[in-house]
């Protein structure tokens, strides 16, 4: 039995000739100012009663983090022996200055081949079915993206929402149409990718994650 694989434009399977899945890294990426407020609203972190949200990583990211924790260069094989679930914490504070932080796990796209992107970092969602779980935080992000006027089911990605701070740090949230092959049954659905481009590769030093994220 094989679990489903999300197919993103820059997430490359190791099995492809000459391709290399990007390495995982532990970092906190921070966005400030109006850009932070805009991105936080899309992630569901603003408004009355809003609180930090934990987003479960997709299977590729979870395997990459598993290899990072084991400090090994093994090939990345996504199969039924799933690694431990991994989560990223997203948090927003409105004062004294709007600040959005996302940590601790990212894919370092500079290590991907052949389409490497130095200075870019990403993480993505598990497979989102066409009838998603309404209580899942990724589903709530999915619904906000689907509600944007620029959403187009024929586009790749279907929608891309970007926020750029005054310092030049950029954070984009993208929605893709993807396929899942769990139990060898093809299903259409969606995947979300969060893509960060800190100016000049700036990163806040690594933070110690909660035990729940290890």
Q: Does residue 214 surpass a pLDDT of 70?
A: no
Who contacts 127 (Cβ-Cβ below 8 Å, separation ≥6)? Answer: 4, 6, 58, 178, 180, 182, 187, 189, 190, 191
Torsion angle defined by CA atoms of residues 45, 50, 56 and 60, in that order, rounded to the nearest 10 degrees: 0
State residue 57's pLDDT score: 98
- The token pair at 72 is 């090994």
CA 55 – CA 43 distance, rounded (Å): 10
pLDDT-based confidence at 183, cuts 50/70/90? confident
CA distances from 61 to 42, 134, 165, 167 (A): 22, 23, 26, 28
Contact indicator for 177, 190 with CB cutoff of 8 Å: yes
The neighbouring-strand residues paired with 162 are: 172
- Encoded tokens for 120: 């870019």
Looking at residue 15, its pLDDT comes to 46
- Amino acid 49: pLDDT: 85
Does residue 6 or residue 119 have the better pLDDT? 119
Domain residue extents for the chain = 23-206
The string of pLDDT tens digits covering residues 23-74 is: 999 999 999 999 999 999 999 999 888 899 999 999 999 999 998 988 666 5
What is the pLDDT averaged over residues 106-122?
94
pLDDT level of residue 209 (50, 70, 90 thresholds): very low
Query: Does 76 have pLDDT greater than 90?
Result: no
Predicted structure pTM score: 0.83
């Amino acid at each position: 039995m094989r679990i489903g694989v999300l197919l993103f434009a820059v997430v490359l399977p190791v099995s492809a000739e000459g391709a290399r899945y990007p390495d995982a890294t532990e970092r906190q990426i921070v966005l400030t100012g109006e850009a932070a407020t805009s991105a936080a609203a899309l992630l569901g972190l603003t408004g009355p009663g809003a609180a930090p949200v934990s987003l479960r990583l997709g299977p590729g990211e979870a395997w990459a983090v598993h290899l990072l924790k084991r400090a090994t260069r093994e090939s990345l094989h996504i199969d039924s022996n799933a690694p431990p679930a991994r989560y990223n914490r997203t948090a927003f504070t409105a004062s004294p200055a709007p600040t959005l932080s996302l940590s601790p796990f990212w894919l370092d796209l500079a290590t991907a081949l052949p389409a490497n992107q130095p200075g870019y970092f990403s993480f993505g969602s598990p497979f989102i079915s066409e009838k998603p779980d309404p209580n899942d935080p990724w589903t709530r992000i999915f619904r906000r993206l689907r509600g944007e006027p620029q959403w187009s089911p024929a586009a790749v990605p279907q929608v891309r929402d970007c926020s750029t701070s005054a310092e030049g740090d950029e954070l984009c949230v993208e929605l893709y149409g993807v396929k899942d092959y769990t139990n060898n049954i093809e299903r259409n659905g969606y995947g979300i990718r969060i893509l960060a481009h800190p100016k000049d590769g700036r990163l806040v030093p690594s933070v110690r994650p909660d035990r729940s994220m290890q």
